[in-house]
Chain A
Amino acid sequence: MGDKGIFICTAELLPLSHPTVETGPPGPDVIELARVVDRGIRESHMIDVSQLVIEKNKSVVGVFADNVVVDYDGNLFDACSYAATAALLSSKTPKWNWVDDAPTLAEDEETPVPIATIPVSVTMGKIGNHIVVDPNGDEWASMDSRITITSDSDGNICALQKGGSDGFSQDEINQCGEISIRVGAKIREKLKQAQTVGQ
């Protein structure tokens, strides 16, 4: 398995972000958040991990995207996902070379993270029979169920997670898929600005 680099995306909620957040190990909500955000970026193959290899079967580069929520107003799925995506688009990683059987840092050399596509997650909440895009804190607290759909630059759907204690009809699921691609395309244009910052 030494022909691919490592990518890990995390998310945590700080106690100062909301009065109900407590210290201690993460609960199911936060674990789900971190896993859904990670899955969206991972499954879209945004980062070409095959380019993160320093020496095959010997040494690879790891890329970490750590989200820290400092102030809460609903829909952390999208907030964390965009933050991580924008950070990845604008980051420069140190360059490593394989010298004398060991990874060696190349001084004053940086490379951008190898990007293959820009994933955009779109979270929709279902309140009664209405579907709202990007539920804010109040909507998040009162919605019946939610769905997070991530699409890539080609308009393909690459990750999805339903949550909340109600269901969706098959028509609603199809409708949400279309909304996520349409809304995602607009947000992708904003995320592309991050790429210019990094250059």
Chain B
Amino acid sequence: MGGRDATMVLLDENGIRCDGRKVDEPRRIMIKAGGLKNADGSAYIEFGDNKILVGVFGPRDVHPKHMSNTDTGILRVRYHMVPFSVGERKNPAPSRREIEISKVIKEALEPAVMLDKFPRTAVDVFIEVLQADGGTRCAALSAASVALADAGIPMRDMVAACAAGKVADTVVLDVNNEEDQAGQADMPIGYMPNLEKITLLQLDGVLTSEEYKKCVQVGVDGCKIVYDIQKKALQDKYFGNGGD
């Protein structure tokens, strides 16, 4: 998208990044399970300056009917950015980028959900990005997993997601918007820690084959941090005093 010129200091001599983080430090992450009254399950995530709300409906009847599958339930995902989520107003109609992200998030969640017990039904996941600051697909995927769990959908594992990347020739965890625009590579990763399976993986930017392996490792480690926060969000709602 943006240019790759590095006028900003992305990484100083002490290994501190443009927003004050260390190379292996994610941004502040807050996840709240529940919150929406009408949805069967929901979650809200703040991932740095990203703010994303996810609502889940289902398993429920499929409309249009021809989309239904007699062997299994189907998962449908819509990733959408509200017009005020970015600096310049975004046209509310779904862009090609949003359609692609909806698809990769759907495919990242599919290995986790067990919908074979609900044939002819659909589970709908609606993701609304309220404020975007780089790495929305990872934050959205993490929140969507919590929302699916909150909806009581049987799952093999939760998908945790975090991006790794390369900034100023260094592999870093959780690339923010500035680093994405001016950095050298961005690799969003979705990972199921219990099954040790990577379910979302994308990359843009040039990496050597060693950096590539390191990036995957750093990203997977980041996902494990996110996973603990996801579990805590569910514990807070169902076993703590954060319920509603």
Contact = CB atoms under 8 A, between A and B. Distances in A.
A174 B213 contact: yes
B212 A177 contact: yes
Contacts, number: 103
Given A28-B100, A32-B103, A163-B104, A168 B198 contact: yes
Contacts of B103: 28-29, 31-32, 163
Interface residues of A, number: 37
A173 B209 contact: no
A168 B197 contact: yes
Interface residues of B, number: 33
Given A28-B102, A156-B207, A157-B212, A170 B201 contact: no
A173 B203 contact: no
Contact of B111 (A29, A42, A147, A165): A165
- Most B-side CB within 10 Å, residue of A147, A161, A164: A161
Nearest to A144: B111
A56 to B, nearest CB: 14
Interface string A1-25: 1001000000000000000000000
B128 interface: no
A73 interface: no
Given A28-B103, A177-B209, A178-B209, 17 more contacts: A28-B100, A31-B103, A32-B99, A39-B204, A43-B204, A147-B201, A158-B205, A161-B203, A162-B202, A163-B103, A166-B111, A168-B198, A168-B201, A169-B197, A169-B198, A170-B196, A173-B198
24 contacts: A1-B3, A4-B3, A28-B99, A28-B100, A29-B103, A31-B99, A32-B99, A32-B103, A34-B96, A155-B209, A156-B209, A157-B203, A157-B206, A158-B205, A159-B205, A162-B104, A162-B198, A165-B110, A167-B192, A169-B197, A170-B216, A170-B217, A173-B198, A174-B212
